[in-house]
Chain A
Amino acid sequence: MSGAPLLSVENLSGGYGEIVVVNGFSLDLAGGEVACVTGRNGVGKSTLVRLVTGSLKPSSGRVVFRGRDLTAAPAHGRARQGMGYAPQEGVVFDNLTVAENLTLHHKDRSLERYGDLFTAFPRLSERLTQRAGTLSGGEKKILSFCRALAEDTVLVILDEPTEGVQPENIALMAEAIRRGKETGRAFLIVEQNLSLVEAVADAAYLLDHGECVYSTTERDGLRARLSERLQL
């Protein structure tokens, strides 16, 4: 990595009340890089993402984004700095239309910023006036994915983006991530689908009991190495 990282997570710890779920996690991510965090269920992956996005306050550590310490900044402040986020659950606003889900956080209601994504996921553009609550689980995930990838985000944080998504659409997601990388965007992806991790990751982190137990930037044989360590 050359120059200052876009995102620095420094010794981040936090959880719920007295319970520490993430303990001392660190990561540097530059523009155009993809970091994937994987691990078994319940090891703290989603909590880590919530600490980075500001949905949870950390007990210690720092989150520095675009050179600014945002550790104490609220979630909406981080989003306005260019942090896009697609959570694992509660991914869309069911009572809003698909179009409203994509535009409510922008000053204008233009959907032009989603042009490439609509080409990749045409079913979404066909359902713009439909309430998001009527979409299937996989379609909701795609809607959330597209919202996070709006062109004004510089860091995209995805929590289990492929859960419930059809394989052909997972391939399209991987392609969209690669295109995003080419435009200089960084991605922090929590994912258990090792096919996607292998397809897009520049760096991979394995989390267990809230701590990073393995990290690598070596892409060759990444899936096999992660799979082996996940089974230990």
Chain B
Amino acid sequence: MELVATYGLNFAYSTATLGLIVLGLAVVFGLLGVMNMAHGEFVMLGAYSALMVQQAGLPYVLAIPLALFVCGAFGWLIEWSVIRHLYRRPFDTFLATWGIAILMRKGVEVTFGREYQSIDQSLPGTVEFFGIDYPAYRLVLMALIVALFAGLFVWYQRSNTGARIKAMVENPELAAAVGIDTARLSRATFIAGVATAGLAGVLLAPLVRVEPYMGLDYLLNSFFILVVGGLGTLEGLLTGSGIIGGADVVISAIFDKTAGYLGVLTISILFLWLRPDGIFSRR
């Protein structure tokens, strides 16, 4: 029973954290069509924001507004200088953001060094849950992610801004013709997407190694999830996170971490081959 509870919680944790990580890419790639290869680097910027707050001796919670500001400002700069010229040219966004990702990694490496950094947990200890002792921070993190997704889902479905984003994604010419400033809305959406990646970095920083190249793993997993789940829907994002996270947890537990990676990669290839639009798709 304890084993089932442990695997169940690990599966839930894995799904929730993967969902949080991929959320920003789902917004930027799924809605705007920008293949943001710098997505992982925005997660990394969020994690380094947490490091800066820790080094300054400030309360950890301040890392959240700092990360949102840093990622939002970088996002604005990148969108204004590069991305806005490349909308509806996905391969060009792939190349451009790949270059930006290299610059961001090298910039952080020059500023903070190449070595691993560790972030202290602001909520150490364990809590008894379903008969097992489970890390308190992980439980709080899962609750936060569920609340974030629920809030975002309601906002996207019910707000006028959510309707405008859907309209812009479906038919940008008509959206502009009815009075929606699509350039401004695209910019705001891009900034929201990369800021979400930064938020993921802050929240996950105490649980992962923080180093300039940490974003690469997140980028690959994020694309795998979108391949499996499909683009443009929250259901697809959560299902993809569940399948990729679940496969990784189960296969890694039975064999080892390398087998887990291999399993995830195999599933993604099968989906690309047999169901290229993923399980859920806006199309």
A contact set with B: CB distance below 8 Å:
53-55, 74-76, 79-80, 85, 87, 90-91, 93-96, 100, 103-105, 109, 147
Residues of B within 8 A of A85 (CB): 177-178
Residues of A within 8 A of B160 (CB): 103-104, 109
7 closest A-B pairs by CB: A79-B179, A75-B176, A105-B179, A105-B178, A104-B163, A85-B177, A100-B163
Residues of B within 8 A of A147 (CB): 178
Q: What is the bound-complex CA distance between A124 and B160, given in angstroms?
A: 20
Q: Which of A90, A103, A109 contacts B173 (CB 8 A)?
A: A90
Q: What is the bound-complex CA distance between A100 and B173, given in angstroms?
A: 17
Residues of B within 8 A of A54 (CB): 176-177
Q: What is the bound-complex CA distance between A87 and B171, given in angstroms?
A: 12
Count of residues in B whose CB is under 8 Å from the partner chain: 19
**Smallest CB-CB separation from A102: which chain B residue?**
B178
**Smallest CB-CB separation from B182: which chain A residue?**
A76
Q: What is the bound-complex CA distance between A76 and B167, given in angstroms?
A: 13
Q: Which of B163, B180, B182 contacts A96 (CB 8 A)?
A: B163
Assuming A103-B160, A104-B163, is B178 touching A55 (CB within 8 A)? no
Contact A55 B173 (CB under 8 A): yes
B contact set with A: CB distance below 8 Å:
160, 163-164, 166-167, 170-171, 173-183, 282
Assuming A93-B167, A96-B166, A104-B164, is B174 touching A79 (CB within 8 A)? no
Q: Which of A53, A55, A74, A104 contacts B167 (CB 8 A)?
A: A104
**Smallest CB-CB separation from B178: which chain A residue?**
A105
Main secondary structure of the interface of B (DSSP, over half): helix
Q: What is the bound-complex CA distance between A137 and B176, given in angstroms?
A: 22
Q: Which of A80, A87, A100, A103 contacts B174 (CB 8 A)?
A: A87
Q: What is the bound-complex CA distance between A209 and B170, given in angstroms?
A: 32
Q: What is the bound-complex CA distance between A85 and B178, given in angstroms?
A: 7
**Smallest CB-CB separation from B232: which chain A residue?**
A95
| Shortest distance from the beta carbon of A81 to any chain B beta carbon, whole Å | 9
Residues of B within 8 A of A80 (CB): 179
| Shortest distance from the beta carbon of A3 to any chain B beta carbon, whole Å | 26
Q: Mind listing 10 A-B residue pairs with CB under 8 Å? A: A55-B177, A75-B173, A79-B176, A79-B179, A90-B173, A90-B174, A93-B175, A104-B180, A105-B180, A109-B160
Q: What is the bound-complex CA distance between A30 and B57, given in angstroms?
A: 68
| Shortest distance from the beta carbon of B108 to any chain A beta carbon, whole Å | 37
Residues of A within 8 A of B179 (CB): 76, 79-80, 105
Q: What is the bound-complex CA distance between A117 and B166, given in angstroms?
A: 25
| Shortest distance from the beta carbon of B1 to any chain A beta carbon, whole Å | 45
**Smallest CB-CB separation from A86: which chain B residue?**
B177
Residues of A within 8 A of B180 (CB): 76, 104-105
Residues of B within 8 A of A109 (CB): 160
Residues of B within 8 A of A53 (CB): 177
**Smallest CB-CB separation from B169: which chain A residue?**
A95
Contact A94 B178 (CB under 8 A): no
| Max count, chain B CB within 10 A of own CB: residue among A53, A91, A103, A104 | A104
Residues of A within 8 A of B177 (CB): 53-55, 75-76, 79, 85, 87
**Smallest CB-CB separation from A150: which chain B residue?**
B178
Q: What is the bound-complex CA distance between A152 and B164, given in angstroms?
A: 19
Q: What is the bound-complex CA distance between A207 and B171, given in angstroms?
A: 28
Residues of A within 8 A of B176 (CB): 54-55, 74-76, 79
Q: What is the bound-complex CA distance between A80 and B177, given in angstroms?
A: 9
Q: What is the bound-complex CA distance between A87 and B166, given in angstroms?
A: 19
| Shortest distance from the beta carbon of A26 to any chain B beta carbon, whole Å | 22
Q: What is the bound-complex CA distance between A95 and B170, given in angstroms?
A: 8
| Shortest distance from the beta carbon of B152 to any chain A beta carbon, whole Å | 17
Residues of B within 8 A of A103 (CB): 160, 163
| Shortest distance from the beta carbon of B207 to any chain A beta carbon, whole Å | 37
Inter-chain pairs besides A76-B179, A85-B178, A94-B170, 17 sampled, C-beta below 8 Å: A74-B176, A75-B173, A75-B177, A76-B176, A76-B177, A76-B182, A80-B179, A90-B171, A91-B174, A93-B170, A95-B166, A95-B170, A96-B166, A96-B170, A104-B160, A104-B164, A105-B179
